[in-house]
């Protein structure tokens, strides 16, 4: 599924963070976002996912194509691993959870409450959610946090399989996932000079 981003400007709160971001994304392609802390990787991903409206520029993608995974795992501690996955599968109208369970080796944990999992296990469950969404474009923010080496490899394999199936991914990460189809987008040139965004409401209120 194609996605085209043209001259995008993003803001976090009342500060403009990025300006002039442009890139195409084609099926089977992975885009790795690089940039120092605070440069706006999370803001860009949230804008692409539709959580924050862009200040200017265009994001052209099919509706409901993007699955977003942020820093927070989005898990309910009181629900079991299987219940968490089934809930999201139901919300996204996806298929069963079996593929997701096997891709992230969660079979032995299915009946455990998510609150009793370790940080790495929670992350695996959170990433497994991507597979049950059935969405084509994955927007991932630091997906490998608290994963050990073998699980990073498992995650890279899942992304690889997703790309091979015609999906695509935009990933903010600092480690090398070893994906052959990955292009690197360094966002430091797009960092805006922290211009305050003019807001008609607050301008009016404080005029």
Partner 1 sequence: MIGLFKRDLALAVRAGGGFGLGLAFFLIVTVLVPFGVGPNTGILSTIAPGILWLGALLACLLSLDRVFQLDWEDGSLDLLATSPLPLENVAAIKALAHWVTTGLPLVVAAPILGVLLNLPGPGYGWLMASLALGTPALSAIGTFGAALTVGLKRGGLLLSLLVLPLYVPTLIFGALVVTRGAAGLDATTPLALLAGITLATIATLPFAAAAALRVNLR
- What does the binding site for partner 1 look like in residue numbers (CB under 8 A)? 13, 49-53, 64, 66-79, 83, 86-88, 90-93, 129, 133
- Residue 159: closest CA among 185, 131, 129, 124: 131
Beta carbon of residue 22, minimum distance to partner 1 (angstroms, whole number): 22
Cβ atoms of 74 and 68 within 8 Å: the answer is no
| Cβ-based nearer residue to partner 1, 90 or 178 | 90
**Which is closer to partner 1, CB of 59 or CB of 179?**
59
Of 9 and 67, which has the nearer Cβ to partner 1? 67
Q: 71 phi and psi, to 5 degrees?
A: -65, -40
Q: How far is the CB of 150 from partner 1 (least distance, A)?
A: 25
For residue 32, what are its two tokens? 């790795």
In whole angstroms, how close is the CB of 91 to partner 1 at the nearest point? 5
Shortest Å, Cβ 180 to partner 1 = 28
Pick the closer one to partner 1 by CB: 13 or 189: 13
Cβ at position 94, least distance to partner 1 in Å: 10
Place of tokens 């992350």: 123
Six-digit token string for 28: 């089977």
Residue closer to partner 1 (CB basis): 183 or 199: 199
CA distance 12 to 194: 10
Question: In Å, how far are 52, 108, 123, 131, 170 from 69, measured between CA atoms?
Answer: 15, 23, 10, 11, 11
CB of residue 185 to partner 1, shortest distance in Å: 21
Q: Which candidate, 128, 119, 173, 175, places its Cα nearest to that of 147?
A: 119
Q: Of the two residues 15 and 164, which places its CB atom closer to partner 1 in the complex?
A: 15
3-state SS string over 102-168? HHCCCHHHCCCEHHHCCHHHHHHHHHHHHHHHCCCEEEEECCCCCCCHHHHHHHHHHHHHHHHCCCE
């Amino acid at each position: 599924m194609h996605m085209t981003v043209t001259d995008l400007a993003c803001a976090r709160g009342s500060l403009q963070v990025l300006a002039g971001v442009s890139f195409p994304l084609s099926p089977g392609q992975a885009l790795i976002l690089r940039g120092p802390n605070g440069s706006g990787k999370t803001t860009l991903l949230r804008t692409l996912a539709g959580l924050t409206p862009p200040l200017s520029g265009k994001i052209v993608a099919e509706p409901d194509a993007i699955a977003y995974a942020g820093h927070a795992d989005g898990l309910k501690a009181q629900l079991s691993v299987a219940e968490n996955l089934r809930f999201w599968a139901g919300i996204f109208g996806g298929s069963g959870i079996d593929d997701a369970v096997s891709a992230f080796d969660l079979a032995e944990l299915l009946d455990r409450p998510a609150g009793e999992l370790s940080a790495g296990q929670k992350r695996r469950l959170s990433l497994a959610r991507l597979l049950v969404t059935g969405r084509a474009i994955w927007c991932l923010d630091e997906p490998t946090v608290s994963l050990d080496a073998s699980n990073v490899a498992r995650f890279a394999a899942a992304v690889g399989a997703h790309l091979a199936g015609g999906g695509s991914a935009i990933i903010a990460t600092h480690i090398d996932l070893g994906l052959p189809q990955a292009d690197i987008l360094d966002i430091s040139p797009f960092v805006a000079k922290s211009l305050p965004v003019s807001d008609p409401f607050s301008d009016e209120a404080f005029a």
